[in-house]
Amino acid sequence: MIVIGELINGMYKDVARAVANREADIIQHLALEQVKDGASMLDVNMGPYSKDPARDMRWLVETIQAVVEVPLSLDSTKADVIEEGLKITKKRAVINSTSADPERMDIIFGLAKRYNAQVIGLTMDKSGVPNSKASRLELAQTIVAKAIEYGINTEDLYLDPLLLPLNVAQPQAVEVLESIHEFRLLCNPAPQVIFGLSNLTQGIKSRSLINRTFLTMAIANGLTAVILDPLDKKLMDALITAELLLNKNIYCDSFLDAYRKK
Amino acid sequence: MAIELVKERYNNAINIVEIGAPGASMIKVGGETALPFLFKEGGMPYAPVTALEILDSEPEDWPDTLRKPFGDAIKDPVKWARAAVEKFGTKLLSVRLQSVHPDYGNRSSEESVSVLKAIAREVKVPLIVIGCGDDDKDNDLLPKASQALKGKNCLFGIAVQENYKTLTATCLADGHAIISESPIDVNIAKQVNILISDMGFDPKRIVMHTTMTALGYGMEYVYSIMERARLAAFMGDKMLSMPFILFVGAETWKVKEAKESGVRQGVNWEIATSVSMLQAGADILVVRHPDSAKAVTDYIKDMMKEESL
């Protein structure tokens, strides 16, 4: 399971402030903590308050790369901001993200090709987030076709069926679960399937419980990557256990410890 | 139409473990990136090695077949060690401190360690040192043995799930590599490795003994456990990425087909078991008969020629 740590995000006030004031130690601490607790990649998002997102992206990437070696997921709606990051990432980066809109895909897949990056494709377009498995699949197919057109290896494509908050769109959770399985059958080699787990529980109580329950269900359905808070220990324990039950790792009494020693 | 081979590619290699003090005689094992001898899929940077096994006193229950090649030297462990190295050319020597066991002489740790020290003075090849197999006795014996050979970078055994702390601590203090053992059980194999590494011991200094049986006694099961561990290691499981050691001699010469059936059959039993274990991924084969050691070493040389695939 590819685990992308979500905590370096300018939506969080302390991160936004650290970026604005160039407080490297705060960012680096977050990077180190997330990797220590199991992140195999880190998301980098300067959030909506950034006054100079391109420069902030550059600073964030440099600051993070100074202390950890994991690949980065460059998270921005602006292609030029992503490109600033792509220029200096040491490990192969993930672009987070493109929608299924043709003009956006042309820009993002063009960048991916130029910088040998992987891409997260959101199954949404200008008309918004789909509300059924069928429409998610249609958009996923559009993204896969475009990626192939650009010569992107489909293993390097992460399809995101988009989780919606449970209290807003409860029926969508099961649609997402079913989409995961279908996405994996879209092409060969199969694409990665990913989602941002925290979206499921925006603004609701019992977040941790709901997140980890849903994550194990999604893993059983074929999820291969996830964006989450790796500092949530119970969540990571559930992830590790789900993979164990799917026979991805060999059991031993200290299986949680063993996984973390990887 | 040409048939194209299906090739597996893995992303993790087996750890490389060094045994012996730095220099020409140091032995390195491990480093594989594919199943044994599949050179088109990956590499085996270090050839598997054989080690001859001796005891710290004259063996009481070894068949004549096994005693004969060593002649009178077998009565004196130091001479026996010299014969193993100088006459039979072993590059790695395994010394089992069996005489401390209550059933095999019940000698004091000090007596056994003084023999071990004499052997270490006399021969220049790296040493594997194995306790007597009685937990209480070993917890007294092995720290003393380890300290006596401090800095020689030996391979010490055996740590098991119920008794690993003393040996781990002592190997850590004296700079030796360690053997972790499990009862033909991949889950426990992984667990023992974790327990040892949780004490601050470098996992890259562990050699695994998954336990084994001789040909005809369920060897297939041993093979399947080793293969499962190895494949998990190649897929990235760091707690199973250790080289394997197999005490083929000790197992083979226990069974009646080997010890009661004349010279060649026992030797052949040991060779057949060793060769099968090589295909399962063995890195170190500890054998008892010099003829087996030679045959298995020759076989390894042949197999390591990449064109033999």
Verify whether the Cβ–Cβ distance A250 to B186 is below 8 Å: yes
Tell me if A254 and B194 make a contact (CB, 8 A cut-off).
yes
- Local confidence band at B4 (pLDDT 50, 70, 90 cut-offs): confident
- The domain tally of chain A equals 1
In the predicted structure, residue B308 carries a pLDDT above the cut 80: no
Nearest CA in chain B to A261: B238
Tally of CB atoms within 10 A around B6 = 6
Q: What is the pLDDT of residue B8?
A: 85
Lowest mean pLDDT among A93-107, A168-182, A215-229, B255-269: B255-269
What does the pLDDT read at residue A189?
94
Nearest to A158 by CA among A9, A43, A33: A43
Q: In the numeric block, which tokens belong to residue B30?
A: 């491990």
**Per-residue pLDDT averaged across A97-121, rounded?**
97
Mean pLDDT, chain A, as a whole number?
96
CB distance A252–B188 less than 8 Å?
yes
CA–CA distance, A77 with B181 (Å, rounded to integer) = 54
DSSP per residue, A219-253: HHTT--EEEE-TT-HHHHHHHHHHHHHTTSS---T
Residue type, B253: W
B196/B188 Cα distance (integer angstroms) = 12
Residue B252 pLDDT exceeds 90: yes
Arithmetic mean of pLDDT over chain B: 95
Distance CA A33, CA A44 (A): 15
Residue A259: closest CA among chain B residues belongs to which residue?
B237
Please provide the DSSP assignment of B106-154 as one string.
Answer: ---HHHHHHHHHHHHHH--S-EEEE--S-HHHHHHHHHHHHHHTTTS--
What's at B262, amino acid-wise?
Answer: G
Domain CATH number, residue A95:
3.20.20.20
List the domains of chain B with CATH numbers.
17-304 (3.20.20.20)
Residue A89 has pLDDT above 70, yes or no: yes
- Using alpha carbons, select from B6, B17, B43 the residue that is nearest to residue B157: B17
Neighbouring residues of A180: CB distance < 8 A, sequence distance ≥ 6: A161, A193, A218, A221, A222, A223
The structure tokens listed for A144 are 């896969």
Taking the C-alpha atoms of residue A259 and residue B2, their distance in angstroms, rounded to an integer, is: 42
Whole-angstrom distance, CA of residue A244 vs CA of residue A186: 26
| Residues of B contacting chain A (CB within 8 angstroms) | 186-191, 194-195, 197-198, 203, 228-229, 232, 236-240
Q: How far is residue B71's CA from residue B69's CA, in Å, rounded to a whole number?
A: 6
pLDDT at residue B291 tops 80: yes
Domain limits for position A17 = 2-260
Interface of A with B (CB under 8 A): 249-254, 257-258, 261-262
pLDDT tens by residue, A186-214 = 999 999 999 999 999 998 999 999 999 99
pLDDT-above-70 percentage for chain A: 100
Measured between CA atoms, the residue of chain A closest to residue B240 is A250
**Encoding tokens for residue A60?**
């964030």
Kindly tell me if the per-residue pLDDT of B262 is higher than 80.
no
- Cα B206 from Cα B196, distance rounded (Å): 9
pLDDT tens figures, B154-198: 999 999 999 999 999 999 999 999 999 999 999 999 999 999 999
What value does the mean pLDDT take over residues B249-266?
Answer: 90
ipTM score assigned to the predicted complex:
0.80
Query: Are B187 and A258 an interchain contact pair (Cβ–Cβ within 8 Å)?
Result: no
Q: Tens of pLDDT along A129-148?
A: 999 999 999 999 999 999 99
The more confidently predicted of residues A262 and A2 is A2
Average pLDDT rounded to a whole number, residues A157-173:
95
Query: How high is the pLDDT of residue B306?
Result: 75
In 3D space, the residue among B139, B181, B137 whose CA is nearest the CA of residue B158 turns out to be: B181
In percent, how much of chain A has pLDDT > 90?
A: 95
CB atoms within 10 A of CB A213: 14
Query: Rounded CA gap, B78 and B118, in Å?
Result: 7
Report d(CA B130, CA B179) in Å as an integer.
Answer: 9
SS3 B171: helix
| Confidence band for B307, pLDDT divided at 50, 70 and 90 | low
A9-17: average pLDDT: 94
